[in-house]
């Protein structure tokens, strides 16, 4: 799917300050998150503002909603394992979601919700300017690759996200960021087979190669 609205990320100052300003703007203005009623806390995203890799999931679940942090439930444990398998720590990367508030009963985000909240994710990415994005599952992949194809068709093949930048960042021109779609950790938990584990590891290894990093031996 394609997003038409855009949110202008603050363009001056350190990335951490710009992300904080964006989080405040989101909390005050996001047309989705300021009206949704099923959530208790917003989950803006967290991690290293200078990260080379941004992981993008779907939406906060119950634990995330309670703690206000992304991927801290069971799926989060699996994501932590994936990050560790890449030879990194959670603090090295940045983790965000398509929606920043929990959908009722953890249902899949609806198109209008993504259209309303998604521009804030794009603005987050514009601030961080990562070298690669890993989309976890269908909604994140469809949004960032502007595609209607399913994750099984798209995973394992680099796509690209093109972002028009605003303010001072615009002088560097548009951003073109490689996007690697892979399975969502929750899917991996439900389908924990040698085949799905191999597929995800292959996807992550491609990201390491792109970044010029050595892939640790698979554990
Ligand atoms: N699933 C997601 O997609 N995001 C989270 O933050 C947690 C679970």
| Residues 185-210 pLDDT 10s | 999 999 999 999 999 999 999 999 99
Q: What integer is the mean pLDDT of 45-64?
A: 98
The average pLDDT across 33-45 equals: 91
pTM above 0.85, yes or no: yes
Q: Cα 118 to the chain's mean position, in Å? A: 10
Average pLDDT, the chain: 94
Please state the atom number of ligand 1 nearest to the C-alpha of residue 75.
8
List CB contacts of 219: < 8 A, sequence separation 6 or more: 85
Residues flanking ligand 1, CB < 6 Å: 57-61, 64, 70-71, 73, 75-76, 97, 186
Token readout for 18 is: 């710009």
For residue 5, what pLDDT band results from cuts at 50, 70 and 90?
low
Give, in words, the CATH class of 15-204: alpha beta
Cβ within 8 Å of residue 80, ≥6 positions away: 71, 90
Mutational test site, ligand 1, from 137, 138, 186, 190, max ligand atoms within 8 Å of CB: 186
Ligand 1 centroid distance, CA of 35 (Å) = 20
pLDDT band at 218 (very low <50, low <70, confident <90, very high): low
Query: Could you tell me the distance, in angstroms and rounded to a whole number, from the CA of residue 99 to the centre of ligand 1?
Result: 9
Note the residue count of the chain.
219
Please state the atom number of ligand 1 nearest to the C-alpha of residue 97: 4
What local confidence, expressed as pLDDT, does residue 169 receive? Answer: 64
């Amino acid at each position: 799917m394609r997003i038409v609205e855009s949110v202008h990320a603050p363009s001056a100052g350190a990335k951490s300050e710009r992300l904080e300003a964006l989080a405040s703007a989101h909390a005050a203005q996001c047309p989705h998150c300021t009206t949704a009623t099923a959530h208790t806390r917003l989950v803006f995203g967290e991690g290293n503002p200078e990260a080379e890799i941004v992981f993008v999931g779907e939406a906060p679940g119950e634990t995330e909603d309670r703690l206000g942090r992304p991927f801290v439930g069971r799926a989060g444990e699996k994501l932590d394992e994936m990050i560790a398998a890449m030879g990194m720590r959670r603090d090295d990367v940045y983790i965000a979601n398509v929606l920043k508030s929990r959908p009722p009963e953890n249902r899949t985000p609806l198109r209008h919700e993504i259209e309303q909240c998604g521009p804030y994710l794009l603005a987050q990415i514009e601030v961080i300017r990562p070298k690669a994005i890993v989309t976890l599952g269908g909604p994140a992949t469809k949004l960032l690759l502007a595609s209607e194809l399913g994750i099984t068709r798209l995973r394992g093949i680099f796509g690209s996200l093109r972002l028009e930048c605003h303010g001072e960042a615009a002088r560097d021109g548009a951003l073109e960021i490689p996007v690697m779609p892979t399975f969502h950790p929750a899917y991996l938990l439900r389908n924990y087979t040698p085949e799905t584990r191999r597929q995800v590891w292959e996807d992550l290894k491609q990201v390491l190669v792109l970044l010029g990093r050595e892939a640790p031996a698979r554990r």
